[in-house]
Amino acid sequence: MINIQDFLQYNPSKLFNMADKGLQYLSAAEKAAKIIPGLANVTPKPLNSIGIVGAGLMGGGIGMSCADAGMTVRILDVSQEGLEKGLATIKKNYARSVKRGSTTQAKVEASLNRFHPTLSYDSFKDVDIVVEAVFENMNIKKKIFAELDRVCRPGAILASNTSGLDIDVIANVTKRPQDVIGCHFFSPANVMRLLENVRGKATSDVTIATAMHFGEKIGKVPVLVGNCPGFVGNRMLGLYTSASMELLMLGATVQEVDKAAESFGMRMGPLRMTDLVGIDLFGRERARSGIADPKKYLTDFLFANGRYGMKVGKGLYQYDSDRKPFRDPIVDEAILDISRNLGKTRRFYTRQEIENMLFLGLINEGFKILEEGIAIRPSDIDVIYVYGYNFPKARGGPMLFADEMGLNNVLEGVKQLNLKPAKLLETCVSQGITVAQWAEANASKPSKL
C-alpha cells in the first residue's frame, strides 16, 4: 500500500516545493472561488441588516461576524433565557478577544450596539438577509422558513446554516424558493473563515451573487457548491470521521489516530475535532429518531452518557479546566466492548496505515464530488478543506496533494483499502493527467452549478 509518509520521506524536496506551491496555489484558489460561471454581470443586493434565528454558539458567532462588519443584527431565540445566555456568550467571546489584543474595547462596544435581541419574527420584516442557525432538524427548519416567508419583505435573502440537509426541501415550504440558499458557516463562526454557499434548484443568480458578496462583506472566504447530503465539506468529512471511528474499532487508540492526523499537518485530529464540534450535534437527532444503538456505535454511547465533547469536559477525551485533553479509560473500555459486539478483529496500526485510511478515502470522495458537478473546480474543494477543516495550507488542499502524490498512487491506495474508486480518478490515471489538468480541459464546458 502507498504510504503518505514514505512518499514525503523519500521525496523530501516535494515537501518544500509543496509548501511554497501550496500557499501560492491557495491565494489563486481563493480568487478563483469567487468566479461563478454566468454571474459576471449579476449585481448583488445591498446588505446592511441581518436577522439570525438562534442565539446559540453558531448564531452568536455569525452575529459577531456581521456586527463587526457594520451590519445591524437582529438575533432571535425562543426564550428570554436563551437570548440572555447567547448574549452573555457573545460578550464573553469579545472580552477574550480584547484580552488577546486582537480587538479593542471601543470596537467591541460598537459591535455590541449593533445587536438587537428579539423574541418575535416580526422584527425581521425589514432585514436584508436572514440566516437560520438552529440545530439539524428538518421539521424545525421547515417551520422556521414558513414563518420567515410570512414576515420577511419581498426580495430578502432567506439562508439556512444547515450543515448537510436538503436546501430544496427547505426552500419548497416558501413561496419564494428563488430567494433561498444555504449559507453554511463553520464553528466557531466568528473565527472560521469558510462560508459554504449551497445552491438549490430554484436559487436565483441574484441570490447566489448576494450570498457570495455576503461572505466577502463579513470577512469570510465564500465558495459555491451544489446541493447533496453533506454538500462538499461534510460529505468528505464523513469519510474522514468514519475512518477515524473504524480505526478505533480495528485496534488504533484515540491518541494514535489524532497523532497521525496532526503529524500529517492537521491542526487537530479528527477525534478531538469531534469533541470540539460537539457529539450532541448529531447524536441528539439519532436518539430522537430511535436509531441510536450505544452498544454498536461509539458516538451513540458517548451521547447516551452525556459525553457531548469539550464543552462539557468529556467526550472521546477527558478535559481539564484549560481544555487540555487526556486519555479516558471509560472511553477505552467502551471501544473494546463495541468492537467485540461488532465482531471486529483488532490489531496494531502504524502511523502510515492510519494516514492512508484517513486521507485516501477523503480524496477519492473529492473526485466523486467533481464528477457529479457538486463543486465547480478542484481548487474550490481545496479552499473548503483548508479554511473549513484546517487541512494544512502547505499542502494546498486534498486535491492538490493528490496530484502531487501521483494519481496512480492514490488509485492504488484506494483499491487496497477496498474502496470503490471514483470514475474520474480512474479516468485521470488512464489518461495520464492530473485533476488540475482535467479541470483546465473542462473549464469551458457549462458548469452544473
Give the C-alpha separation, 423 to 270, whole Å.
Answer: 27
DSSP 395: G
DSSP secondary structure, 166-179, as one string = -HHHHHTTSS-GGG
For residue 63, how many other CB atoms are within 10 A of its CB?
30
Are 122 and 78 contacting, i.e. CB atoms less than 8 angstroms apart? no
Are 76 and 54 contacting, i.e. CB atoms less than 8 angstroms apart? yes
Could you say which of 184, 235, 272, 314 is catalytic? 184
Length of the chain: 449
Bridge partners (DSSP) listed for residue 158: 130, 180
| Residue 154 identity (one-letter amino acid) | P
Q: How far is CA 286 from CA 134, 140, 160, 289, 411, in A?
A: 16, 15, 21, 5, 34
Are 377 and 32 contacting, i.e. CB atoms less than 8 angstroms apart? yes
DSSP 421: P
184 catalytic? Reply is yes
Which three cell numbers mark 200? 438549490
Place of cell 484515540: 254
Known catalytic residues?
Answer: 184
